[in-house]
A and B are shown apart, each in its own frame.
Chain A
Amino acid sequence: MATTEPKANDEPIVLDDAIIEGAEKLSEEDIAQVINDMIRTEGGARFKAYLNTCMSCGYCSGACHYYLSRDKEPRLAPAAKVKQTLGEFVRKKGRVSRETLMRSCEIAFTDCNLCRRCMMYCPFGIDVAFLMLFVRRVCHKLGVVPRYIQDTAHSHSATMNQMWVQEDEWIDTLQWQEDEARDEIPDLRIPLEKEGADVYYSVIGPEPKFRAQLIYQAAVLMHAAGIDWTMTEFPGWDNSDMCMYTGDIEMTARLKKVHFESALRLRSKRIVMGECGHAFRSVYDVGNRFLGWKMPPIEVVHAVAFYDELLAEGRLKIARKFERPVTFHDPCNIVRGQGLHEKARSVVRQSCETFIEMEPNREHNFCCCAGGGVINCGPPYKNKRVKSNRVKAEQLMAAREKGAEVVIAPCHNCHGGLEDIIHHYKIDIEIKFLIDILFECMEK
């Protein structure tokens, strides 16, 4: 695998061998056929309106952390990403070279987090993320997808979870976490397959694999708050979805169906999901749509909103507040995605002594540069991902200077992304989930 990273202003090179291998199998006719079919069948009103309406004004440029972090490299302006990809597809009537296809693939998969910040800065509200997803779908249909994220998509199709977790491993992990927690709280349970529970709790594939303590903490929190809850032992326990990001919407629909249906089968009142941004997006405004539901068929509550509700109802009580000063990273998928920023702040204020805002914040926060499946494209792109978010590093450093010692990010991908940024730019700040804080501070 090629390892060198292009300098900001060099001609780019393709870093992922799967992209090259995929493209080598294609003739220009194949490429043209798929592109034109896609434009004919899926290039609807939004697609046309966006492409026709963009005035090349550059209002969106300064919205994108890639552009800002890489010395205002023109190619990284949101509208420029469209120009280099779909712009070429349309201009050449689909007859683009393999090089253009490979470049388009890299741009759509690794130069855009689909964070939708630029949409808020465009006078027309042009949704560049939507257009980049269109490019990804073309790439998916052509079999030109970065290797690591395609592997997670394969895992989704084979196992209905993101991390090749086998069913026995999943159950073992839950039992192990239950055992551990019982040392602390003897009557704690992680209920499995319980019918008619108030809460169906689902997590993302990486939790049992890498961050099992989060399941432990969630179980303790549920116990402390006296929640009637359950998880499922069958596929459907994973609410994550990388297929949504590889352009495989058919798989997305299957995944979300399994997830919704397992909650409905258990006749749960609602789904509560762990602290993940993209999973929430897939359940709340992507997967349900592909399945033909205007809104999810069963109420879906993100962990942040759930905590806020428990605190407001007094079911969860803070024993003593978290002492070290904290700042908060607004994950795009739950803030620009469901406006949970005020609820998150309410939880933070109730559980922490000192809260320091990052600038800009709320809807205007910068993405972590891991989202949209970019971190899932793996090691070949890590360098670029970190370099492409200097603005985030600057945001964090400014918060650090104001005294913040901890940054709270209620999203798995954000964690991965921020960790790399903190490490690369040597920022002396620790990163935590909201549940880490609550676990430490609540009455158990």
Chain B
Amino acid sequence: MYDIYALARGPLAWGAFIVFFGGIIYRLAAILLEARKKDHVVYAYFSPYYAMRSMLHWIVPFGSRSMRQQPILTTVTFAFHICLIGVPLFLFAHIILFKESFDISWWTLSGMAAQVMTVIVLLSCVYFFVRRIVQPDVRYLSSTADYLILLLVVLPFATGFWAARGWAGFEIATLLHMLSGELLLALIPFTKLSHMFFFPLTRIYAGSEFGAVRNAKDW
């Protein structure tokens, strides 16, 4: 048991981070190079001003008409993403690990806040799941991958919550938490979760085309 823990804490964690960052760099480089070859328009019409304008409208909650038309989905989506990124990045227990390994640390969330945010992530996933099943168009669009990435996100948060509460079997939960978190990290670049770093790219392009060429809003 302790061996596996050491493995997850050491080499696997390293591996996950390397695959995560390496994967992102690889996929970004690949797509940017491909655009050089086959999508000249992406560079030709690139406009920093209109790209930023478009990004801002889509990164601010309810900044677009589309978001305003679906208030519940938008609220859940923003709450979900904020917590999803915020908890792992500012969790005290994570910062300790960084402190131990690299002697670096930064601001942390209170335990209570982290738990509430974790619950938000989990409830959001439940909402997304139910919505996928209940709403006919989304149900039609959904493929196995869409359900699997939900599961991929739920696992580390559910086990993390379990471990943090110190419920029975929390040692196992901690281990599962580490493993599933590492799995999630490593898979981000190679699944639909890559929307995390493709979002800026597609938005920059859409914003530039709409703003600089077509003199129109895109929100």
- Complex Cα distance, B67 from A58, in Å, reads 11
**Nearest Cβ on chain B to A86's Cβ, whole angstroms:** 13
Interface residues of B in 151-174 (CB under 8 A from A): none
Q: Are A336 and B216 in contact (CB under 8 A)?
A: yes
- Is A4 part of the binding interface, using a Cβ–Cβ cutoff of 8 Å? no
Whether A62 sits at the interface, judged by CB under 8 Å, is yes
From 27 to 61 in chain A, residues with beta carbon under 8 angstroms from any chain B beta carbon are 42-46, 48-50, 52-61
The stretch of B9-17, B100-108, B116-124, B194-202 that contacts the partner chain: B194-202
Give the number of chain B interface residues (Cβ < 8 Å). Answer: 50
A301 — which chain B residues lie within 8 A by C-beta?
Answer: none
B217 and A285: CB pair below 8 A? Answer: no
Complex Cα spacing A79 to B176, Å: 35
Do A124 and B140 have beta carbons less than 8 Å apart? Answer: no
Is there a chain B Cβ closer than 8 Å to A339's Cβ? Answer: yes
Chain A residues near B110 (CB-CB < 8 A):
none
Q: How large is the interface on A (under 10, 10 to 19, 20 to 34, 35 or more residues)?
A: 35 or more
Tell whether, in the assembled complex, residue A339 and residue B38 are in contact, meaning their CB atoms are under 8 Å apart: no
Most buried by B among A42, A50, A125, A339: A125
Residues from chain B with Cβ under 8 Å of A44 in the complex: 34-35, 37-39
Residues of B within 8 A of A188 (CB): none
Tell me the bound Cα distance from A304 to B210 in angstroms.
19
Contact between chains at A122 and B137 (CB < 8 Å):
no
Interfacial chain B residues near A61, Cβ < 8 Å: 137-138
**Interface contact B137-A74, CB-CB below 8 Å:** yes
Binds A, one of B82-90, B141-149, B177-185: B141-149
Q: B213 at interface (Cβ–Cβ under 8 A)?
A: yes
What is the CB-to-nearest-CB distance from B82 to chain A, in angstroms, rounded to a whole number? 15
Interface positions of A from 297 to 354, Cβ below 8 Å from B: 335-340
B58 adjacent to A62 (CB under 8 Å):
no
What residues of B have a CB within 8 angstroms of the CB of A74 in the complex?
Answer: 136-137, 139-141
Report how far A335 CA is from B218 CA in the complex, Å.
Answer: 11
A-B contact pairs, 30 of them (CB 8 A): A44-B34, A44-B37, A44-B38, A44-B39, A45-B34, A46-B42, A48-B31, A49-B201, A53-B192, A53-B199, A54-B192, A55-B146, A56-B146, A58-B138, A59-B67, A63-B66, A74-B139, A77-B137, A83-B140, A121-B66, A123-B67, A124-B199, A125-B205, A126-B202, A285-B213, A285-B214, A294-B45, A337-B216, A339-B214, A363-B217
Question: Lowest 10 A-B CB distances belong to which pairs?
Answer: A125-B206, A339-B215, A44-B38, A74-B140, A45-B35, A56-B141, A121-B66, A58-B138, A45-B34, A44-B39
